[in-house]
Amino acid sequence: MNDAMYFVSVDFIDDPNVAGRQYWYVCPFGDVESGDEVLAPLGRHSRLQLGVVRRTRYARDAEAPYPVYMIKSIKDVVKRRQGEYMMYKIIEKRELNPTVTMMDIFAPLVAKKAQPGQFIILRVDEDGERIPLTVAGCNVKAGTVKIIFQVVGATTIKLNHKNVGDSLADFCGPLGRATETEGIKKACIVGGGVGCAIAMPVAQKLHELGCEVHSVTGFRNRDLVILEKEFSECSDKLTVVTDDGSYGRKGVVTEPLKEALESGEKYDMIFAIGPLIMMKFVVATAKPFGVPVTVSMNPIMIDGTGMCGGCRLTVGGKTHFACVDGPDFNGYDVDFDEAMERGRMYADFEMHARDEACNLFKKEAE
């Protein structure tokens, strides 16, 4: 780097361990001023954190506050001194597999409150539909919320076309009841496909609480495997299965679960999160052993606050709303057949909407 560049010193005022100290960063945004709030990497693991700019300096390499190779870069500006927060900005975006994408969204109020098992409802733009996505993690210090979604419908196609620096129209949450993890000493987490994105923060929370965690994750093939590293870090035992045997063990998630139960593993709770048919058979597998099963339901949902009734389920013979009564329920009480039938009601409409979205982006690319 031969040309002059901007450097800024940042004070991480909300972190009691470093508050009052100032750290210098390279700043790729030339119009940053003292008092602006930024996201910057801090510490050995370079985890993003929210801080306030105290000083700015325009200098060449030789005049930099420290050797340039030692100075990290500001990730993003999220609030101008005289303005409002740049809410719902996409801070990070990463493709986990050809059909699943992970994003970190700047939403500090949601990040402060969200717990594993809860969800948000977002709109990509002002004319967009509302879709629910489960919170896959939070960085409270950076004010970011992690979402993981499968590119399967019109709205997720639109969402996937957004890039780092773009913003979403709405990002409402946290909604729903958090997964109950207190008092559980040994648990088995069973995740299927993109449902592993919901299962991961539950496994991480249990691990933090000192619970012994056994995880089983299942995918159709090796190209669709996601979050293996994250699960391995929070699991005492991890089994990955694929339908075709192209990665890990060949089979379905109920097979290693049944083997574990037959071998005498005593779980306080099994958490099953994935396709409805998978959760139904996890419940059937656990039933002979009398092990409690919690399932996470993700039915059709509109407002997310219990007013529309779109997410109704039959649980224990009574009607419940997944958005306010769940999304977690006792697996033995859920009418899975009814839930699967309701989930297919709008399949034709969803396919038409997806085709329209795909055609729209094709025209824009031409």
User: Is residue 360 over pLDDT 70?
Assistant: no
Mean pLDDT of 92-121: 94
Residue 118 and residue 245 in one domain: no
User: Is residue 2 over pLDDT 60?
Assistant: no
Residue 225 and residue 267 in one domain: yes
Whose CA is closest to 273, among 159, 101, 134? 134
**Does any domain span residue 115?**
yes
Residue 190 and residue 335 in one domain: yes
Average pLDDT over all residues of the chain: 88
3-state secondary structure of 98: coil
Tell me, what DSSP letter sits at residue 167?
Answer: B
Q: What is the CATH number of the domain that holds 291?
A: 3.40.50.80
User: Is residue 165 over pLDDT 90?
Assistant: no
Residue 221 and residue 332 in one domain: yes
Q: CA-CA distance, 171 to 167, in Å (whole number)? A: 10
**Does any domain span residue 35?**
yes
Q: What is the CATH number of the domain that holds 128?
A: 2.40.30.10
Residue 32 and residue 167 in one domain: no
Residue 134 and residue 192 in one domain: no
**Does any domain span residue 365?**
no
Domain boundary among 142, 175, 208: 175
Residue 165 and residue 193 in one domain: no
**Does any domain span residue 285?**
yes
User: Is residue 1 over pLDDT 50?
Assistant: no
The residue range of the domain holding 96 is 90-175
How many folded domains does the chain comprise? 3
Whose CA is closest to 178, among 112, 109, 116? 116
**Does any domain span residue 85?**
no
DSSP string, 210-263: T-EEEEEEEESSGGG---HHHHHHH-SEEEEEETTSSSSEES-THHHHHHHHHT
Residue 198 and residue 299 in one domain: yes
Residue 191 and residue 310 in one domain: yes
Question: How confident is the model over 265-291, as pLDDT tens digits?
Answer: 999 999 999 999 999 999 999 999 999
Domain boundary among 120, 148, 175: 175
User: Is residue 168 over pLDDT 50?
Assistant: yes
Question: How confident is the model over 32-65, as pLDDT tens digits?
Answer: 888 888 899 988 778 889 999 998 888 876 677 7
Report whether 48 contacts 139 (CB < 8 A): yes
In this structure, what is the dihedral angle of CA atoms 52, 53, 54, 57, given to the nearest 10 degrees? 170
Instruction: Determine what percent of the chain is predicted with pLDDT higher than 70.
Output: 90
Residue 233 and residue 305 in one domain: yes
**Does any domain span residue 259?**
yes
Mean pLDDT of 184-203: 96
**Does any domain span residue 169?**
yes
Mean pLDDT of 310-336: 93
User: Is residue 4 over pLDDT 80?
Assistant: no
Residue 48 and residue 108 in one domain: no
Among 42-46, 233-237, 247-251, 348-352, which stretch is predicted with the lowest mean pLDDT? 348-352
Question: How confident is the model over 194-207, as pLDDT tens digits?
Answer: 999 999 999 999 99
Domain boundary among 79, 107, 131: 79
Residue that wins the pLDDT comparison between 328 and 21: 328
Q: What is the CATH number of the domain that holds 68?
A: 3.40.1440.60
Residue 205 and residue 328 in one domain: yes
User: Is residue 84 over pLDDT 70?
Assistant: no
User: Is residue 104 over pLDDT 80?
Assistant: yes
19 pLDDT tier (thresholds 50, 70, 90): confident
**Residue 169, both tokens:** 């129209």
Sign of CA dihedral 178, 197, 230, 109: negative
**Does any domain span residue 40?**
yes
